[in-house]
Structure 1
Amino acid sequence: MSDQLRELPDQPSLRYLKLEAKRRLSAGEFATLHQAQLAIAREHGLSSWTALKARIEAVAPTSHALTQVRWVTSRFGTADTPEWTPPDEDELRRHFDDHYLGLLPPDWLSALLGTVARQLREDLADVRAEPLRLRARIADLRVEAATEPGPPYRLRTLRLYSLETKVDDPRVAAPAARASGAVPGEVSAVAADAFGELGLAGLIVAGDSGGGSVWVTARGWADLGQGEVLLPEHRFPVYSITKLVTAVVVLRLVADGRVRLDDPANAHLRTVRLADDAVTVRELLTHSGGVDNPGELFADRVPELVSVTGPVAACGGSRGTFAYGHGEYALLGQLIADVTGTGYVEAATRMVLEPLGMSDSWFPRTWPATAAVIGHRLTDEGLFEGVPAQVSAVPAVGGLWTTAADLVRFGLAWSSLLPGPLAREALRPQADRDGLGGQVGLGWMLMPPKDVAGHPGAGSGFSASLIIRPGRVGTGGGRTWVVLTNRQVAVEPLNERLVLPLT
């Protein structure tokens, strides 16, 4: 260590000095990270690392986003203690703009921030602060924030989401991204960040540029064990997103006058019937029929539904109350088969996949042999391993395999298969699904304050999501986003950054 004092540059970077401390520790110059940080602080004429941090923060350009986030951490860091009192609406409006509090009302915001009080007591780390934007880490949470452009610089966006287990698999160094279509530059950047932050083996992000133009970007591996690079045209199982296809088939039967939404479902069921004769088709579509889940959700080969549910499907739930599950859609698949006189797969292919040009989508009865990705899970040691190759046991619930481009086509054009009033009814809130503004339509999961509709899909080794902006979607095109991964993780943070960017 030199005895000569070092001067801080005009725009000092704490992140750079942290990396220097880690580099010097790795080189064996110091026994502990604390010793390395203390030495760097003293080289700059300061008594401690804390003093060095304070000096850098004092001379750094003002970040209004950082100031507001520090208010959040100090105000809500004790929210899990008995003596804490929540801020009232006036106090919150001094720190969050009206648009943000329109998306997330004050009482909900306080409740949500209170759930992460323990993490908010930790120090911010890996801070990348600009005057109006912030990206940082606090404990095991990623923090992203942006303020309005002028005084009083209230927060217009604040996101907190969990960071995934660190990946230590030497095989996962990602190859160059492969793309199809004109991928927006900001999407490529978001996908690159998410690949590492979510701890993924492979990631596909897809969407549209208006006018029906579809783009796809793929990053990582389709099969890490075999070194097979992930391509835009690889097929994924999208599991519960299949329910949207099932819902559109049922709505086409409604449009044709063969089924009515408020008919008792048993009026149309033959092979498998419901234990409760009063459950309606609308209640099945909105997960409010109280139908029990099938006993088997995954299998090596798709069985007959009656072998999974029995001839009479139990209805042990509370009818009329939303409870997300798979039983309702298993019975809708049987209803489609009974009404059309064909199998569910044949009806869904003829009534949805073919009219929308989804030529790379289908319902395999066993695991596909070609152009299919392999699911992965992350071990406690941070290594990837493959998961058993099983398909959905109930095609109407989770049997669809598709490409990202085909799924975007569905998101853009599903409403073209229905009369306008019926398509609007599908996106009309039918029931509350949580205490945070979430509602359910006919198949679609809705968040009306954010003008967002969509559906997730997840199974062993895979996650998927399809999101549309209903206010911007019509038969002539709109906005649609698709995320596909071959590791089961929560992809909501990625969805937020794609659909509701910071600026």
Structure 2
Amino acid sequence: MSAHTLSLRHRIRRGALITALATCMGAALVSCSDGAGPAAEQSVASPAADAPLARLAQQAADTGSLGVIVRVDSGDGKPVEIARQAAWTKDDHRLAADDRFRVGSNTKTVTATLVLQQVAENKISLDDTVEEWLPGLVESGEDITVRMLLNHTSGLGDFLLTPEFLPSLTGQEKRTWTPQELLAITPGQDPPAEPGEKYSYSNANYEALGLILEKATGSSLTELIKEKITGPLGMKDSYLATNGDWDTAETTEKQHVTGYEPDAERLRAILSGTVDLPEGVGFAGPERSGDNIDTSAIDPSWSWAAGGMVSTARDWQTFLTALNSGELLPMAQMKQMRTTVNAPEEGGGYGLGLMKVDTACGTVWGHTGGLPGYSSEIYTDASGRRSVAVLTSTNFGIKEEKAATANKALVEAASCQMLGEPQPSDNPAG
């Protein structure tokens, strides 16, 4: 997410395979789609008004995004909801705009909100050290503060970069990881950085924050999310995943989106020039059309406070709108959350669990998310009254050049429509 690209999902960062795989967490293709059925044609606003956005969504789906959900709320009470997909994916799942989706690292904004609520109640201080809360669990914890965990300046690397964890990320190994185990295999940054020295995105930061929250409150993270966020906001389709069994998780009649990734050969080609991927290394799951793998069964529970939530476009926009309009945090904590460090790889800056992204049409606030088979970008304007969500049913698949271009055009157009600005002049459907 150019310097103003909307998501880190469109980049392969830091020049290593496992680093590239880290973008899965807070980025000759399929055949063109035929006419979509009713579920894939959802649109609430005027057909003429959102036709260009719908065309971009279908173009993105056919070019490699595979499945796309777009929801734009311009604050006028008439949200646009669009669901488009490549034709062959309909055999797995007829996509609808209100389907449940793994929102990945967008979860970090919820975790940060919960921490800042405790800060407002003087139960946690941003200047508390990790060692005070989690003695002996994090290397150099006596020099790392809660604030550094929140804005990714802790100096910690990412457990995603380790050979111990890679088989679980790709689904080749079925193992239940605890946050403590993940922190135990977390390396320092490469090259090394002192706590507070520089921004470097790490899921380990939020695993530690989840443990601090549970210790400070005496409640589980699942309970805190229900009590402080999803319950009060009426987010009935949002929950923290504890396994990969979507049929027996907290269920409603809502479907769960099927996610896909390129097979081992395509993945190797995508990463060619960045890293030499060992032959045969790829995601586990059933083979699908266009050299894709169905990754829906890969267990995301390891991502926990860093990326474990399942939601819908509407539910997550409800959360972000409440947050950025001041409903969930006092003004002092909202100001702290929006105090950013420079994070050009995210398209702007990173606050306390909140990204500031400079788009072609203005600044937006929110986060990105990614897990195997799922990527998302969800933002509001500064007031929180306008919001946009773009959910895509692949992560590495949109790193191929044509797919990345089409997906970027869609996100830019949706963001501009949310902000009430004309689509970018170079937009193919503008």
* Contact 1:363–1:395 (8 Å) recurs in 2: yes
* Contact 1:468–1:479 (8 Å) recurs in 2: yes
- 1:182 shift after superposition: 3.2
Partners in 2 of 1:223 and 1:397 — Cα distance? 32
Q: Percent identity?
A: 28
Q: Deviations over 1:44-102 (max 9, x none)?
A: xxxxxxxxxxxxxxxxxxxxxxxxxxxxxxxxxxxxxxxxxxxxxxxxxxxxxxxxxxx
Partners in 2 of 1:494 and 1:377 — Cα distance? 20
Match of 2:148 among 267, 283, 289: 283
| Secondary structure of 1:261 counterpart | coil
Residues 183 and 249 of structure 1, relative CA distance in 2, 3 Å threshold: farther
* Contact 1:166–1:199 (8 Å) recurs in 2: yes
Match of 1:207 among 72, 77, 83: 72
Partners in 1 of 2:125 and 2:104 — Cα distance? 27
Match of 1:327 among 195, 204, 216: 204
| Secondary structure of 1:224 counterpart | helix
Q: Deviations over 1:197-218 (max 9, x none)?
A: 4423221101324166654222
- 1:195 shift after superposition: 2.5
Partners in 1 of 2:355 and 2:294 — Cα distance? 30
- 1:448 shift after superposition: 5.5
Aligned to 2:59: 196
Partners in 2 of 1:250 and 1:422 — Cα distance? 10
Partners in 2 of 1:242 and 1:366 — Cα distance? 16
* Contact 1:272–1:334 (8 Å) recurs in 2: no
- 1:226 shift after superposition: 3.5
| Secondary structure of 2:377 counterpart | strand
Identify which of structures 1 and 2 has the higher relative contact order when contacts are C-alpha pairs closer than 8 Å and 6+ apart: 2
Aligned to 1:304: 178
Aligned to 2:349: 439
After superposition, where does 1:60-75 map in structure 2 within 5 Å?
none
After superposition, where does 1:101-116 map in structure 2 within 5 Å?
none
Residues 223 and 251 of structure 1, relative CA distance in 2, 3 Å threshold: farther
Partners in 2 of 1:333 and 1:233 — Cα distance? 28
Aligned to 2:239: 362
After superposition, where does 1:123-134 map in structure 2 within 5 Å?
none
- 1:482 shift after superposition: 0.4
Q: Does structure 1 residue 462 correspond to structure 2 residue 377?
A: no
| Secondary structure of 1:345 counterpart | helix
Partners in 2 of 1:438 and 1:457 — Cα distance? 16
Runs (5+) with no aligned partner, structure 2: 5-26, 248-254, 267-288, 399-403, 417-422, 426-430
| Secondary structure of 1:377 counterpart | strand
* Contact 2:412–2:424 (8 Å) recurs in 1: no
- 1:275 shift after superposition: 3.2
After superposition, where does 1:164-243 map in structure 2 within 5 Å?
166-168=29-31, 174-176=36-38, 177-179=40-42, 181-182=44-45, 185-197=48-60, 198-210=63-75, 214-220=79-85, 224=89, 226-243=91-108
* Contact 1:363–1:401 (8 Å) recurs in 2: yes
Residues 334 and 180 of structure 1, relative CA distance in 2, 3 Å threshold: farther
Residues 341 and 223 of structure 1, relative CA distance in 2, 3 Å threshold: farther
Partners in 1 of 2:245 and 2:82 — Cα distance? 22
Aligned to 1:390: 298
Residues 189 and 351 of structure 1, relative CA distance in 2, 3 Å threshold: same
Residues 458 and 191 of structure 1, relative CA distance in 2, 3 Å threshold: farther
Residues 436 and 422 of structure 1, relative CA distance in 2, 3 Å threshold: closer
Partners in 1 of 2:180 and 2:256 — Cα distance? 29
- 1:301 shift after superposition: 6.4
| Secondary structure of 1:389 counterpart | coil
* Contact 2:260–2:296 (8 Å) recurs in 1: no
Partners in 2 of 1:495 and 1:265 — Cα distance? 37
Residues 221 and 273 of structure 1, relative CA distance in 2, 3 Å threshold: same
After superposition, where does 1:425-436 map in structure 2 within 5 Å?
425-429=336-340, 431-434=341-344
Aligned to 2:257: 373
Runs (5+) with no aligned partner, structure 1: 1-103, 110-163
Partners in 2 of 1:387 and 1:260 — Cα distance? 39
* Contact 1:454–1:466 (8 Å) recurs in 2: yes
- 1:426 shift after superposition: 1.2
Partners in 2 of 1:436 and 1:494 — Cα distance? 18
Aligned to 2:411: 495
Between structures 1 and 2, the one with greater strand share: 1
Which of structures 1 and 2 has the bigger CA Rg? 1
Residues 388 and 448 of structure 1, relative CA distance in 2, 3 Å threshold: closer
Counterpart code for 2:37: P
Q: Deviations over 1:261-305 (max 9, x none)?
A: 122122223584443311111111111001131253646565321
* Contact 1:240–1:455 (8 Å) recurs in 2: yes
Partners in 2 of 1:487 and 1:343 — Cα distance? 30
Partners in 1 of 2:59 and 2:29 — Cα distance? 9
Q: Deviations over 1:303-334 (max 9, x none)?
A: 32123223x96544412200112111111111
Counterpart code for 1:369: W
- 1:462 shift after superposition: 1.5
- 1:183 shift after superposition: 6.2
* Contact 1:275–1:313 (8 Å) recurs in 2: no
| Secondary structure of 2:71 counterpart | strand
- 1:493 shift after superposition: 2.7
Residues 213 and 270 of structure 1, relative CA distance in 2, 3 Å threshold: farther
Q: Deviations over 1:443-479 (max 9, x none)?
A: 1121368322221111222111111221x32xxxx11
Partners in 2 of 1:179 and 1:225 — Cα distance? 15
Partners in 2 of 1:387 and 1:172 — Cα distance? 24
Residues 215 and 424 of structure 1, relative CA distance in 2, 3 Å threshold: farther
Partners in 2 of 1:340 and 1:303 — Cα distance? 22
- 1:366 shift after superposition: 1.4
Give the aligned length. Answer: 335
Residues 399 and 445 of structure 1, relative CA distance in 2, 3 Å threshold: same
Partners in 1 of 2:87 and 2:135 — Cα distance? 41
After superposition, where does 1:33-44 map in structure 2 within 5 Å?
none
After superposition, where does 1:401-480 map in structure 2 within 5 Å?
401-414=310-323, 415-429=326-340, 431-434=341-344, 438-447=348-357, 450-470=362-382, 472-473=383-384, 478-480=385-387
